[in-house]
Amino acid sequence: MDILETERLTVRNWAEEDRDLFHEINADRKVMEFFPFRRTRPESNLLFDHVRDMIRDTGLGFYAVALKETDEAMGFCGLALANVSPMLPDESVEIGWRLATRFWGNGYVTEAATALLGHGFERHGLPEIVSFAVASNRRSIAVMKRIGMQADPSRDFNHPRVPDNYPHLKHHVFYRMTREEWRERQAATP
């Protein structure tokens, strides 16, 4: 099931042939630099099935991002429940991404994330989309800024699921965009 297409990309649900790539991005040291763990193959397989089923059942999740020309999956970009209670309300939807390193530096995440903001606001009627990252994760923060999200330091937080023995990964910066801000941005774009 395709979620949407951009100039170069297809954003879609995961297919069985994407399972190896899904494991690759969840086990790669560089990709997972700002997470307290990497996933084993069995853990990746369980998460793969969960994410694919969630997208099928709800329309939200961390969708596969594939090159339009070849349908080769590169990683994910998606909209999912943030699931960081009590830091955010339970209904908060985050946008997030993760790509295999060989695809970094081509603007794919920015392209997919920009399209997914519109998808979330217009198709799903979301009032706000949030994003957050470890404070030192410059690459993800740069994407948040490029897609027009605004920092809200009053909502920065220490992630409740990051173990205390990873203090350098606990503090997260918070970015957000409202549907009204999205529409204003679209109206101002030539």
Q: Tens digits of per-residue pLDDT, 89-108?
A: 999 999 999 999 999 999 99
Please compute the mean of the pLDDT values over residues 161-183 and round it to a whole number. 96
Could you tell me the pTM of the whole model? 0.94
- Bridge-based pairing of strands 150-151 and 171-178 is antiparallel
Q: What is the pLDDT of residue 7?
A: 96
Percent of the chain past pLDDT 90, that is, above it, reads: 92
In the prediction, which pLDDT does 190 show? 73
What domains sit in the chain, N to C, each tagged with a CATH number?
Answer: 2-188 (3.40.630.30)
What is the spatial distance between Cα 126 and Cα 120, in angstroms, rounded to a whole number? 6
Question: Mean pLDDT over all residues of the chain?
Answer: 95
Confidence of residue 3 (pLDDT cuts 50, 70, 90): confident
Mean predicted confidence (pLDDT) in 31-58: 95
pLDDT band with cut points at 50, 70 and 90 for residue 116: very high
Task: List the Cα angle 24/101/19 in 5-degree steps.
Answer: 25
* Contacts for 28 with CB less than 8 Å, ≥ 6 apart: 38, 100, 101
Token pair in block for residue 70: 């070849």
Q: Distance of CA 43 to CAs 40, 46, 49, 53, 64, Å?
A: 5, 5, 10, 16, 18
Q: Within the chain, what is the greatest distance between any pair of CA atoms?
A: 48
1 — pLDDT class (breaks 50, 70, 90): low
Distance of CA 51 to the CA centre of its chain: 12
Tokens of 121: 């606001």
| Long-range contacts from 25-29, C-beta under 8 angstroms, 24+ separation | 25/75, 25/76, 25/98, 25/99, 25/100, 26/98, 28/100, 28/101
